[in-house]
A and B are shown apart, each in its own frame.
Chain A
Amino acid sequence: MLHSSKFDFLIKQNKDKIFNYALYMLRNRMDAEDVAQEVMIRIWKNINKFNFYAARAWIMRTTHNLCIDNLRQKGKQYHREVSLDDNLSERIEDHNIDQSPEKVLSESMINEKIKNAIDRLPEIHKSPFVLYEIQGFKYKEIGKILDIPLNSVKVNILRARKQLQKELRFYAKKQLK
């Protein structure tokens, strides 16, 4: 009973993080869903083994390792099959009271461009960037998850930010005008 509620809590807190991370890493919805399922099953199997405070890092480390395994197995560098921004039409409908559809569409396009630019980042830069900027993990936690020194985490995030900026310079300038 206790295990079940502990599991429910952990899943509720982390399921979207697991799925998003897998989605960014694998660029394929089906694979990301498979990884998310596997991670959740592993959480259940190990529910007694890890302590509650270290659970978040353990879960993301497992997700990361499974993503790497998946990429190695398939040896793929294919493009995203399903867009990350699947709910674009819903967001245009939701925002049309406050904002014009053109503006929402333009924002969504920039969002999509950024997501694609993140997609194109090398894995070594993308993992810490996604964990830090999108999922809100601390440097220390990212070091534990990816099993790399703290300094490497900072350097890789900085390089990712620079590369992202290089790719998005055109859109940034366009927006400033």
Chain B
Amino acid sequence: MQKNNSNKIEESLLAKIIAVAYGDAGLMDKIKIYKLAKKNALVKQLLIEYRLTANTVHKIEETELPVSISDKVRSRIEGKSNSNAVGSFIYSRLFARPILSTSVALLLMIGIVGIFLFTKPASESKYSKIEIELAQQQFEHSLAIVGKVFQHAEKKLEIEVISKHVSKPLNTGLIYLNDYLIGG
């Protein structure tokens, strides 16, 4: 008999009794313990006590997670995933594909150029006739000033620069050259 004395039971036997009581022992162990329980009062008592506790433990019901908690998580997740979804949708549709991104860039360029082209007449129409005439007059006046400056510069070039500073040294140079050639 696997019994040291009337009150004590071997650890291995106790482990088997507990396993049988909790319902996870093998078939052979179950038969062995049931047979032993019929003969041994202590084994029977232990088996009953442990089974009682096991049954109560197995009856313990799970506490439900409050709905508010799962709702809170869901709203947090949905909030994040929606903003992410919009961003990722735009990215995946427009920027993640080279052909699409190129065509989008082209469209944008055409659009910008188009805006400039079509808005040009509108910008011209901003000025009144008087303003345009005044601008023309100012333009002519400035051209006349420039013309005068050019005339003055031309005269100065003919009279002062070419006659004094260019033709005179050139003449003297030619005289020296003639003298040298005739002399040689």
- Tell me the A residues contacting B by CB distance below 8 Å: 4, 7, 11, 15-20, 23, 33, 36-37, 40-41, 44, 84, 86, 110-111, 114-115, 118, 133-135, 158, 161-162, 164-165, 168-169, 172-173, 175-176
Contact of B18 among A19, A36, A161 (CB under 8 A): A161
Contact A16 B62 (CB under 8 A): yes
Contact A176 B22 (CB under 8 A): no
Contact of B65 among A18, A84, A134, A172 (CB under 8 A): A18
Chain B 43-71: CB-based contact to A (< 8 A → 1; otherwise 0): 00000111011101111101111100110
Q: Does B15 contact A (CB under 8 A)?
A: yes
Question: For residue B22, which residue of chain A has the nearest CB?
Answer: A161
The interface residues of chain A lying within 8 Å CB-to-CB of B58 are: 133
Contact A165 B60 (CB under 8 A): no
Contact B66 A172 (CB under 8 A): no
Q: List 21 A-B contacts (CB under 8 A).
A: A11-B73, A15-B70, A17-B62, A19-B64, A19-B65, A44-B77, A110-B56, A111-B56, A111-B60, A114-B56, A114-B57, A114-B60, A133-B22, A134-B60, A134-B62, A135-B62, A164-B53, A165-B50, A165-B53, A168-B53, A172-B53
Chain B 126-141: CB-based contact to A (< 8 A → 1; otherwise 0): 0000000000000000
Tell me the bound Cα distance from A110 to B66 in angstroms. Answer: 25
Tell me the bound Cα distance from A133 to B56 in angstroms. Answer: 11
The interface residues of chain A lying within 8 Å CB-to-CB of B59 are: 111
In the complex, what's the smallest C-beta–C-beta distance from B19 to chain A, in angstroms?
8
Report whether over half of chain B's contact residues are helix, strand or loop; otherwise say mixed.
helix
The interface residues of chain B lying within 8 Å CB-to-CB of A84 are: 63
Contact B64 A16 (CB under 8 A): yes
- Tell me the B residues contacting A by CB distance below 8 Å: 14-15, 18, 22, 48-50, 52-54, 56-60, 62-66, 69-70, 72-73, 76-77, 81
Tell me the bound Cα distance from A40 to B65 in angstroms. Answer: 12
Given contact pairs A17-B62, A33-B66, A158 touches B18 in the complex (Cβ within 8 A): yes
Contact of A172 among B14, B22, B49, B72 (CB under 8 A): B49
Contact B56 A15 (CB under 8 A): no
Contact of A19 among B52, B57, B63 (CB under 8 A): B63
Contact A165 B63 (CB under 8 A): no
The interface residues of chain B lying within 8 Å CB-to-CB of A7 are: 77
Tell me the bound Cα distance from A169 to B52 in angstroms. Answer: 10
In the complex, what's the smallest C-beta–C-beta distance from A33 to chain B, in angstroms?
5
Contact of B69 among A4, A37, A168 (CB under 8 A): A37
Contact B77 A176 (CB under 8 A): no
Given contact pairs A36-B69, A41-B77, A176 touches B60 in the complex (Cβ within 8 A): no
Contact B62 A36 (CB under 8 A): no
